[in-house]
Structure 1
Amino acid sequence: TLHLEAMSIFDMGNKLLENIRKVNFTGASGQVQFDASGDLIHPAYDIINIIRNGMRTVGFWSNYSGLLSTISPEALYSKPPNTSLANQHLYDVIWPGETAQRPRGWVFPSNAKELKIGVPNRFSFKEFVTEDNGTGSIKGYCIDVFTQALSLLPYPVSYKFIPFGSGTENPNYDKLIHMVESNEFDAAIGDIAITMSRTVTIDFTQPFIETGLVILAPVKKHIKTSWAFLQPFTLEMWCVTGLFFLIVGVVVWVLEHRINEDFRGPPSQQIITIFWFSFSTLFFAHRENTMSSSGRGVLIIWLFVVLIIVSSYTASLTSILTVQQLDTSIKGIDDLKSSNDPIGFQVGSFAQDYMVKELNISRSRLRALSSPQEYAEALKLGPKEGGVMAIVDERPYVELFLSTYCKIAVAGTDFTSRGW
């Protein structure tokens, strides 16, 4: 019924192809001409911006330059090809909504799978992260950092926070890490210390809080009394200084009494002269002349020593009388290791295992503390009354604690080493 016998065969295909390759005209899309291999010579395209029912040209593309440009291809043919990416640009595109701001991407559908993010429900130091008992929302510094970082992504992320812990005590962070490892949580956000053992199983972002283990210890205030002028030097220093005054007086007397009338007289007068001469040098008020070269050499050296002593004493006394002096009996981690007194740590912190495994401190000496109030009370009581001699904790918590509590200070420097 198709009457195929009525169809004829066209056998001039090569002739048609030859004629097509000889085409040379200007059409709606520009110049149409083919090279010897049958490819278009200088193919080019308009880049158009569709705006509702209209459109506008925002640039061009041609294989001559191989780049997007606002310059027409015909204008580029007369110039050497320039394939630099610095020259690639288009006019501004008007996006849906009549805006020139580039869209971030597609919004997740309502049935998209949400990321389950575990968040520590802390009992103490809630400023970092915790669950609001009134509203049930998660808040804190770590949450603020996360939401601000998320807003910088070029696409939306669907997530939900899942509190980890009862809120009546600080949760165990190692258990939280294990839940991320076992895919119970897709991620975890919070004040989670980056230790070597934890990086074996999960990945961390770059830390956004400066941290390190430090020692908290009670401080004692130096009491200012009428005898404060004796505090710049210890008793041993006072004794040694007085002894040197007498020795110098005797040495100068031995060198001068044979040739100097000022160092002669009855024995009692000579003893008084020795004492008077030596101590008068403290105020550079000695009146006896030295005549021998040896005596003058000894006196010059001694006066230089006296200048150093007087300057040091003056500076120390000024500091004592004008600045509140605070001091701790603990100078560093070595004092903790050499003692047998109890040491406090924060519940849930890795500091406990760190002190046991890295510092070889007996676990029986460690006392778990759950809040800043317990910190202050334990340090106030001291080891003899059921408290602790010091507390080892991470610097962020310590700085937050010290912003509220006084008469307590950081002793020594940060002492983290392996495994941090």
Structure 2
Amino acid sequence: MILNGLLKTKFKGFSGDFSLVIGQLRSSAFEIINVINKKEKVIGYWTLENGLIRKLGKAKKGKSMSKYELKPPIWPGNTKDIPRGWRTPDGGNKLRIGVPDKTGFEAYLKVEQDPYTKESTVTGFSYDVFEEALALLPFAVPNKLIPFPIGPNAGTYNKLLYHVKNQKFDAAVGDITILANRSQYVDFTLPYLQSDVSMDIWLTTGAAFVCTGLVVWILEHRINNEFRSSAHQQ
């Protein structure tokens, strides 16, 4: 009688609900631990009544097993980005990506620096291609964009690629032309801009100049004596 009474005893104490299941004390809540290197961090709890929950003592309706009920965990590589596959970064170092900081052709690549935080923001077609390539990988690749000045009184594209060779940068992203001498010390991705695009632009520009000159000659030939000389003199 006494044993049966003890097994059926239930009450709420300072540490939570007290009850016995098959003679064993049932834990009222389990901690969800996020292990970071040699440290641990509690990101939530699991209870029989509520499932996953961020804080104890916070009543909610229904039982949830959604991960969004927990605090965001820190993944290997010291990042909050969720790995997209079984492989995850095994170190805290980020890839150093050299980015040409220059003027002109901003549609391809543009680097802007915040005057207060000194952080750089990169936009443009070349950067979008880089982001899409990373999105296709089955794992997260933490990276840091490092602007590299390009100009008459600054560096050149060749120097930028030499820094990749010398391992000052792990890679370079930008409107970098694939040349034979550069291919001897760095590896390029497959080209995503065809050279015939620029050739079409040059042909169109040349045709526009020829048409403009022809129209001017036709209009001025009748009234301007300088346009009535021989073809050799014109």
Q: Which has the higher strand share?
A: 2
Structure with bigger RCO (C-alpha 8 Å, 6+ apart): 1
- TM-score, normalised to structure 2, is 0.47
Q: Highest CA radius of gyration, 1 or 2?
A: 1
- TM-score, normalised to structure 1, is 0.27
